[in-house]
């Protein structure tokens, strides 16, 4: 059991390790060196070794890492050893994108229901997932417990919807509404702000254009 | 001009600063201390001061920060002073979610067109944005230059679509396909992996459950 305290920076990189190792496993790669893995992921070999050392000594000098073992171990740390039931509030574009995202079922996530307020959506079954009235969400959760709740509603109702999910037994909230959810102790929330990654992109675009337009005083690297 | 080198960690936090300052400005707050801003953002006052010092000395001892000034300054660093034209490849749920996201137009992003391969989408105008055949994308970009391209296609065609965008003059790629785009020098890309934030959430959920189920040997905090 990985009960080590892992730093936030390493935790943020873990899903990336999981993705890369999964892709390697898919194409039949069974072992990889820290150099090779680093080159693929855009990290240095020493960074890779340092990160992986945080959660146990899994590499061997001169052999590298066993890909399926390391992938399984990271999956366990990420809590993917058991599956998760998930409900989604808001059956708009974001809610539907999450519901049908193929990567989720592959990682053991199962969407049991979507909830919305729109009469033309309620009662439909879209790609196997039923859409119910949001007023039925708490009752549904009593019958069909789910640990993960996705909030894909307008911002003005997101906090209320989150509270209803928590009352229904949801312990982890994945929020796409453009605001930060407040949650009580014993519940975790992740607020996804799509614009944030766009603004980091425009930052880098602007730096790039400044570099290109500035007269170069430095020798070329 | 903010030509300082800002660390990646600070850059990642900049959009958050921008959001919080924007929200404060909206409700008429004109100045804020590092303590207050830190409490809202879940950062320490010294972290706030350290971050903001990276891009100039904008705070005053005993006064705090001027909210509209600091927001404008961070917006400038993020490259938001001028607007951006944006095209989107893939008019599925993710593509449409990006196209209609209200936060983008407020920040100066304008979606000029969506591109897809589906006959039932091509030729439609959805909420003011036309959907064209993806084969017309390069020609469209010659007539209507756009610096930002959103890739919301299946993974298997994402790299090809990205190349077509770059040939059409796109300099920044915002990629939602579940793979990492390779881009030539002079072009920047941001690969958004939606599952990553979900896996960080399950990691935290699992730690929480371990803590709750473990016999406590430590005094309560």
* Euclidean distance between CA atoms B40 and B32, whole angstroms: 11
Backbone angles phi, psi at B155, to 5 degrees: -55, -40
B67 lies in the same domain as B99: no
Residues B145 and B167 in one domain: yes
Could you tell me the pLDDT band of residue B87, with boundaries at 50, 70 and 90? very high
Tell me if A218 is assigned to some domain.
no
For residue A33, what is the DSSP state? -
> How many angstroms away from the CA of B208 is the closest CA of chain A?
7
Q: Are B190 and B109 found together in one domain?
A: yes
* B220 inside domain: no
**pLDDT number for residue B3:** 44
Task: Among B190, B202, B208, select the one facing A78 at the smallest CB separation.
Answer: B202
Asked if residue A16 and residue A65 are part of one domain, the reply reads yes
What is the end-to-end Cα distance of chain B in Å, rounded? 47
A3 domain-assigned = no
Min distance A41 CA to chain B CA atoms (Å): 9
Asked whether residue A206 is assigned to any structural domain, the reply reads: no
Q: What is the span of the domain harbouring residue B51?
A: 8-77
CATH of the domain at B43: 1.10.10.10
A18 and A104 belong to one structural domain: no
- Write down the residue that tokens 């998930």 correspond to: A86
How many CA atoms does the CB half-sphere of A198 hold within 13 Å? Answer: 27
Q: Is A12 on the interface with B (CB under 8 A)?
A: yes
Residue partners of A75: CB distance under 8 A and separation at least 6? A18, A81
Q: Which of A54-58, A104-108, B19-23 has the highest mean pLDDT?
A: B19-23
A15:B147 CB<8 A: no
Residue B218: inside a domain: no
pLDDT tens-digit map of A168-211: 999 999 999 988 999 999 999 999 988 888 999 999 999 898 88
What's chain A's average pLDDT?
89
Of A77, A105, A135, at which residue does a domain stop?
A77
Chain B contact set for A210 (CB, 8 A) = 1, 3
**In this structure, are B30 and B106 located in the same domain?**
no
Q: What is the CATH number of the domain that holds A138?
A: 3.40.50.720
**Integer Cα distance of B23 and B12 in angstroms:** 19
Judge if A135 and A61 occupy the same domain.
Answer: no
- Of B44, B77, B110, the residue at which a domain comes to its end is B77
- H-run or E-run covering A107: none
Mean pLDDT on A96-115:
88
Give yes or no for A104 touching B (CB within 8 A). yes
> What are the pLDDT digits (tens) for B105-147?
888 899 999 999 999 999 999 888 999 999 999 999 999 999 9
User: Last residue of a domain, which of B77, B102, B134?
Assistant: B77
Could you identify the residue written with the tokens 């399926």? Answer: A68
Of B218, B157, B200, B107, nearest to A74 (Cα)? B200
| Residue A201 counted as domain residue | no
Give A147→chain B minimum CA distance, Å. Answer: 9
Do A66 and A122 belong to one domain?
Answer: no
Grade residue A3 by pLDDT with cuts at 50, 70 and 90.
Answer: very low
Residue B149's alpha-carbon distances to A9, A146, B115, in angstroms, are 29, 37, 11
Alpha helices in B78-136 (DSSP H): 93-100, 102-106
Report chain A residues whose CB lies below 8 A from the CB of B12: 196, 200
Considering the domain boundaries, does residue B27 fall inside one?
yes
| A67 and A124 inside one domain | no
Chain A residue with minimum CA distance to B40: A180
Tokens 């897809």 locate to B116
Number of structural domains in chain A: 2
**Are A147 and A177 in the same domain?**
yes
What's the pLDDT tens digit per position in B24-78?
A: 999 999 999 999 999 988 889 999 998 988 877 666 777 889 999 999 999 999 9
Instruction: Specify the pTM.
Output: 0.84
- Phi/psi region, residue A111 (left: phi>0; alpha: psi -120 to 50; beta: rest), is beta
**What is the band of A1 on the pLDDT scale with cuts at 50, 70, 90?**
very low
CB A113, CB A134: distance < 8 Å: no
Identity of the residue in A78, A104, A195 whose CB atom sits nearest the CB atom of B107: A195
DSSP summary character for residue A51 = H
Residue A213 — pLDDT band, cuts 50, 70, 90?
confident
Query: Is the separation of the CB atoms in B40 and B74 below 8 Å?
Result: no
**Is the domain of B188 the same as that of B97?**
yes
pLDDT score for A57: 64
Of A95, B125, B175, B121, give the one whose Cα is nearest residue B111: B125
The answer, for A194 touching chain B at a CB cutoff of 8 Å, is yes
pLDDT number for residue A217:
54
Between B91 and A60, name the one with better pLDDT: B91
In this model, does residue B161 exceed pLDDT 60?
A: yes
In a domain, B112, yes or no: yes
| Same domain membership, residue A136 and residue A54 | no
Which ipTM was obtained for this model? 0.85
- Judged on CB neighbours under 10 Å (0-12, 13-18, 19+), A20 is middle
């Amino acid at each position: 059991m990985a009960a080590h305290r892992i730093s936030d920076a390493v935790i943020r990189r873990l899903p990336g390790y999981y993705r890369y190792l999964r892709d390697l496993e898919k194409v039949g790669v069974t072992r990889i060196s820290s150099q090779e893995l680093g080159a693929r992921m855009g990290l240095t070999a020493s960074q890779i070794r340092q990160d992986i050392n945080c959660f146990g000594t899994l590499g061997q000098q001169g052999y590298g890492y066993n890909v399926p073992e390391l992938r399984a171990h990271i999956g366990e740390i990420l809590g993917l050893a058991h599956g998760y039931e998930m409900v989604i509030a808001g059956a708009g574009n974001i809610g539907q994108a999450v519901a049908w995202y193929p990567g989720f079922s592959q990682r053991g996530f199962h969407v049991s229901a979507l909830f919305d307020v729109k009469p033309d959506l309620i009662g439909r079954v879209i790609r196997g997932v039923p859409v119910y009235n949001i007023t039925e969400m708490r009752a549904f959760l009593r019958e069909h417990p789910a640990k993960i709740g996705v909030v894909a509603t307008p911002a003005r109702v997101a906090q209320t919807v989150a509270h209803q999910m928590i009352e229904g037994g949801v312990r982890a909230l994945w929020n796409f509404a453009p605001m930060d959810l407040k949650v009580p102790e014993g519940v975790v929330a992740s607020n996804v702000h799509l614009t944030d990654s766009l603004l980091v992109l425009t930052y880098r675009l602007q730096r790039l254009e400044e570099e290109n337009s500035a007269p170069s005083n430095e020798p070329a690297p």
